[in-house]
Amino acid sequence: MSRRGGGGGRRGGGRSGYEDLSREPQPVAPSHGRGRGHAGGQRGRGRQTPPAQVAPPTPSTSTVAASSSSESSLSRQVEHLSLAETKPSVPTPAGPSTSAIVPTPVQAPPQSSKAISIPARPGFGKVGRRCIVRANHFLVEVADKDVCHYDVVIAPETPSRKTNRSVMAELVKMHQHSYLGGLTPAYDGRKSLYTAGQLPFTSKEFVIKLVETDQMGNARREKEFKVTIKFAAKVDLHHLKQFLMARQFDSPQDAIQALDVVLRESSCAQYTTVGRSFYSLHFGQSTDLTGGVECWRGYYQSLRPSQMGLSLNIDIAATSFYKGAPLIEFVAEFLNIQYTSRPLRDGDRIKLKKALGGLRVEAIHNSEIRIRYKVNGISSVPMDNLTFPDDASGTSISVVQYFRDKYGRNLKYTKWPCLLAGSSSKPKYLPMEVCQIIPGQKYAKKLTDKQVRSILGATCQRPQDREASILQVVHKNSYGNDKFAREFGLKIVDKMVSVDARVLPPPKLKYHDSGEEKSVQPSVGQWNMMRMKMVNGGTVDNWACVNFSRTQQRHVIEFCNDLAKMCNNKGMVFNMRPSFNPIGGDSNNLEVALRNLHKLALDRVPGGQLNLVIIILPDVSGFYGRIKKVCETELGIVSQCCSPKNVARYNMQYLENVSLKINVKVGGRNTVLEDALYNRIPYLTDKITIVFGADVTHPAPGEDSSPSIAAVVASMDWPQVTKYRGVVSAQTHREEMIQNLYSVGEDPKKGTVARGMIRELMVAFYKSTGRKPERIIFYRDGVSEGQFNHVLLNEMDKIRKACASLQEGYLPPVTFVVVQKRHHTRLFPEVHGSRNLTDKSGNILPGTVVDTKICHPTEFDFYLCSHAGIKGTSRPTHYHVLYDENHFTADALQTLTNNLCYTYARCTRAVSIVPPAYYAHLAAFRARYYMEADQSEKSSSVGDRSHERPVEIQVLPDIKDNVKEVMFYC
């Protein structure tokens, strides 16, 4: 292969391409301008003019087969590399590279967590207009105190932290000034106790009697607990201080955890705890979410290491709770039914089983007997058909008869099922009408769309109001007077920290030269493409429309005609005449209607394939997923769904937004970064680079039989990096690691073959561009800090093996960046309402980046608010670099990430997270629809416990090849 082709072998002993392609000539994409270079306008000898229409990469005609490398060979290749090599000085970004791949030292992923080495911060960013923002972080000053850690064992063991805390509170009340030496301990509710100084003993056992009460406060029974407290270790606060001053790189999690427990102790005693958040009706009246659920307000609190020292992150929070009410009221509201003596429908019973699983109730048998239970399920038959062995008589007795005889209660709703409590071998049957929901229980099931809108509406606050609410929480908690904080020598500064920030400039976006305007500079995170045309318009020769709504035919025809006009006006080649007149479909037989359309196309459409189907959704929700599944996995049709209300009343802006989605679904591109055309983007255009995005989505709470869905997308159009191919895979329930990144399996004909998502996308990139990547940038969404090591160890290893399986020694340098949206850091303008500091919503300006003070003491991370706010308070995205063989500078990675946020295909606004991560989320969410139609819940029965049966991983239906080629998930 010629060196001018840009695909030279990285470590293949001079091989020019992937091992199995080395004998085939690799096509060179056409260049624009005068000089040598790659597609898209490489560096030439004179000033370049961007092409009228950016040429997509020239596809390769070669076929990529599985590598002959064995798994053991790959393992040896990976294991001999050392992670511990010294990091070279940060290089200055060079101009566009030559075609040959220059070997660069790379690091293999470590083989154990002890060997892990997350890269240090390469310096601080300097690009952008400087400004000051406030963050909802509060400085925590730590005194020199001896903090000791003790192990706690409570017998009998109880899963309830609340009970454990009650036991410990009673112990402290009885023995604080005797056996505890006057110390005030902080307890985590499980196994750990902390004291500011040593207790007078190394190990001691206590006997504590706890009186349980019912909801009315009446004493029910006395229970005895044995509590063993045993010295575990001294907490090294000196190590913590060294780490915070960047003199030590190993994070002392034990010290941070200890002080976090101390600062949470008072709140745990006062409020209902959910994770790291605290809720109470003291923070405002609850909001009815309907369906037996209500919204409680509260706050989030977490102690974090930062450059300024220890930081207490406090934010406003809200979540859903069960209403504390009679259970039958919940059932009637949840199922939207009247109190009735008729049996529940099977569908309602299944929904109810999911909603009540794990709920704690109090069974009120009469005025004297009240017993608390945890619900395990509901019976599969109505209560009047339920019997159980009666030990006294030796015969069976019905539940209805038992309550009549023992408690004198004539049950009314005997056609409803009973709650199941106790064990599967000896279940307890609880009539719903005798049960009361214990207040303060988190509703952890999936909320309806209406409930989500209600909770967002109830908690949405403009930045100025949210900042005031946070400060109210700080004032209410009065940390300066907190006895635990004083005991351990902690002082919390009650003012939000001011942080140096920068506003990065927006990138210039290139559109087609035939438009009235050829490029645009976004303003405050958005732009209008009214006078512009798509940079690469797709082609739609054959298309049809299916109407599943009650929208009149003439309105559908008018809508389709105007949409086709808009697509043409924006630069697409869109046939104004559909292959068929709009077809009416019955939503009850939706799949049949689409299959019939496909058969019609096979007979009447040239080539037998429609390029696009426009689908008017039914008037009721719930059909979108079924449509996407049949179109994308069975028929191989790209579809665009439109709601009937938008079809009946649309405007030009709506049509333009739909045209953007259609264009990328048929292979076009809407815009590209202008700097990409001139090869002016460091660490992207100087070498052949592939950009990945990855995410794992999990089933809704309570869906314990559904798999998690992993999705990986990768750019296919270097150097523009706007077109992404996506692959999806089902994996173990709630498994966060992506299991199918790389694997080796047996094929009946080929023998041992390499497979996996990374390999598939790398091969697709080669076919699309005729080149192999010389650099990998991997944006990984959905990873919490506690999973950093595990994700890096597992996924970097698979990325390495996937690359090595394509060609021996092929190890392009990787930069692995975690993308975190689920955090509680908020950034507020220094002056609310200032036009120079805020957007129209009152939020900080798009492009605001922070990498000082509140960021990690030593590691490479930053907060970036790339988008303009619309409603409420914007949440910046946190980017944390876990692995960096490309040696990014802070400015280079921050600018690249911000610029990519302007290339999102579905709108003319910068988005809040980098598009490859966003696309991976969309692809995973789409794949979830493929599974829903196949899932069915088996009827509940006595002893039916889903956790007692192993759950097999459901296989995702294959996406058709022609659909996979385009951005179908947009």
Q: How does pLDDT run across 717-726, given as a tens digit for each residue? A: 999 999 999 9
Which residue range(s) make up the domain with 332? Answer: 327-438
Are the C-beta atoms of 313 and 143 separated by less than 8 Å?
A: no
| Whole-angstrom distance, CA of residue 778 vs CA of residue 776 | 6
| Whole-angstrom distance, CA of residue 816 vs CA of residue 806 | 20
Write down the residue that tokens 């063989």 correspond to.
885
* SS3 assignment, position 197: coil
777 and 913 in a single domain? The answer is: yes
Is 965 domain-assigned?
A: no
Are the C-beta atoms of 850 and 877 separated by less than 8 Å?
A: no
pLDDT at residue 367 in the model = 78
pLDDT-derived band at 214, boundaries 50, 70, 90: low
Q: Residue 547 has what DSSP assignment?
A: E
pTM of the model: 0.88
49 C-beta neighbours (distance < 10 Å), count:
11
pLDDT-derived band at 49, boundaries 50, 70, 90: very low
788 and 705 in a single domain? The answer is: yes
> Residue 469's Cα: distance from chain center in Å?
27
159 and 259 in a single domain? The answer is: yes
More confident residue, 38 or 281: 281
Of the candidates 187, 162, 154, the one whose C-alpha atom is nearest the C-alpha of residue 172 is 187
Judge whether residue 771 has pLDDT over 50.
Answer: yes
203-213: strand order across its sheet: 186-187, 192-196, 147-155, 219-235, 203-213
- Please report the sign of the dihedral spanned by the C-alpha atoms of residue 405, residue 407, residue 412, residue 415: negative
Is 461 domain-assigned?
A: yes
Judge whether residue 917 has pLDDT over 90.
Answer: yes
- Give the residue from 397, 412, 438 where a domain finishes: 438
Are the C-beta atoms of 829 and 837 separated by less than 8 Å?
A: yes
694 and 640 in a single domain? The answer is: no
Write down the residue that tokens 């998502």 correspond to.
757
pLDDT at residue 217 in the model = 56
Element (H or E) spanning 447, and its range?
none
13 C-beta neighbours (distance < 10 Å), count:
8
| Whole-angstrom distance, CA of residue 624 vs CA of residue 617 | 7
pLDDT at residue 220 in the model = 66
What's the mean pLDDT in 265-287? 96
Total domains, the chain: 4
Secondary structure of 87-111 as H, E, C letters: CCCCCCCCCCCCCCCCCCCCCCCCC
Contacts of 884 (CB under 8 A, 6+ apart): 119, 815, 816, 860
| Whole-angstrom distance, CA of residue 353 vs CA of residue 343 | 15
693 C-beta neighbours (distance < 10 Å), count:
29
pLDDT-derived band at 560, boundaries 50, 70, 90: very high
> Residue 571's Cα: distance from chain center in Å?
34
Supply 202's token pair.
Answer: 């190394």
More confident residue, 248 or 303: 303
pLDDT-derived band at 32, boundaries 50, 70, 90: very low
Could you list the beta-strand ranges (E) of 253-364: 272-274, 277-279, 287-290, 293-306, 309-322, 360-364
Is 831 domain-assigned?
A: yes
What's the CATH number where 571 sits? 3.40.50.2300
Are the C-beta atoms of 29 and 39 separated by less than 8 Å?
A: yes
More confident residue, 455 or 97: 455
- Please report the sign of the dihedral spanned by the C-alpha atoms of residue 332, residue 334, residue 335, residue 336: positive
Q: Residue 283 has what DSSP assignment?
A: G
156 and 272 in a single domain? The answer is: yes
Judge whether residue 65 has pLDDT over 50.
Answer: no
Amino acid at position 766, single letter: Y
- Give the residue from 412, 438, 464 where a domain finishes: 438
More confident residue, 954 or 196: 196
Judge whether residue 675 has pLDDT over 70.
Answer: yes
Supply 620's token pair.
Answer: 């009721």
919 and 882 in a single domain? The answer is: yes
Contacts of 12 (CB under 8 A, 6+ apart): 19, 22, 807, 808, 809, 810
What's the CATH number where 395 sits? 2.170.260.10
Using CA atoms, how far residue 634 sits from 594, 622, 623, in Å, is 10, 19, 16
pLDDT at residue 216 in the model = 58
pLDDT tens-digit readout, 313-323: 999 999 999 99
| Whole-angstrom distance, CA of residue 536 vs CA of residue 540 | 13
What's the CATH number where 710 sits? 3.30.420.10
Supply 328's token pair.
Answer: 């039958």
Is 881 domain-assigned?
A: yes
What's the mean pLDDT in 134-154? 97
pLDDT-derived band at 931, boundaries 50, 70, 90: confident
Q: Are strands 309-322 and 387-390 parallel, antiparallel or unpaired?
A: unpaired
221 and 303 in a single domain? The answer is: yes
Is 444 domain-assigned?
A: no
429: phi then psi, degrees, rounded to nearest 5: -100, 125
318 and 261 in a single domain? The answer is: yes
Of the candidates 23, 8, 66, the one whose C-alpha atom is nearest the C-alpha of residue 805 is 66
Alpha-helical (H) ranges within 478-629 are 483-487, 553-569, 590-604, 624-629
Write down the residue that tokens 């009998």 correspond to.
156
Between 553-569 and 652-665, two packed helices, what is the crossing angle to 10 degrees? 70
Element (H or E) spanning 503, and its range?
strand 497-503
Could you list the beta-strand ranges (E) of 136-290: 137-142, 147-155, 186-187, 192-196, 203-213, 219-235, 272-274, 277-279, 287-290
pLDDT-derived band at 17, boundaries 50, 70, 90: low
- Give the residue from 916, 933, 950 where a domain finishes: 933
Q: What percent of the chain has pLDDT over 70?
A: 85
248 and 281 in a single domain? The answer is: yes
Is 842 domain-assigned?
A: yes
What's the mean pLDDT in 267-278? 97
> Residue 247's Cα: distance from chain center in Å?
33
Q: Average pLDDT of the chain?
A: 88
Of the candidates 913, 918, 919, the one whose C-alpha atom is nearest the C-alpha of residue 967 is 919
126 and 150 in a single domain? The answer is: no
243 and 338 in a single domain? The answer is: no
User: Considering just the CA atoms, what is the radius of gyration of the chain in Å?
Assistant: 31
| Whole-angstrom distance, CA of residue 217 vs CA of residue 224 | 19
| Whole-angstrom distance, CA of residue 12 vs CA of residue 7 | 12
Q: Which residues share a beta bridge with 879? A: 819, 862
Judge whether residue 98 has pLDDT over 60.
Answer: no
Is 713 domain-assigned?
A: yes
Supply 184's token pair.
Answer: 């005030």
Is 891 domain-assigned?
A: yes
More confident residue, 44 or 542: 542
337 and 424 in a single domain? The answer is: yes
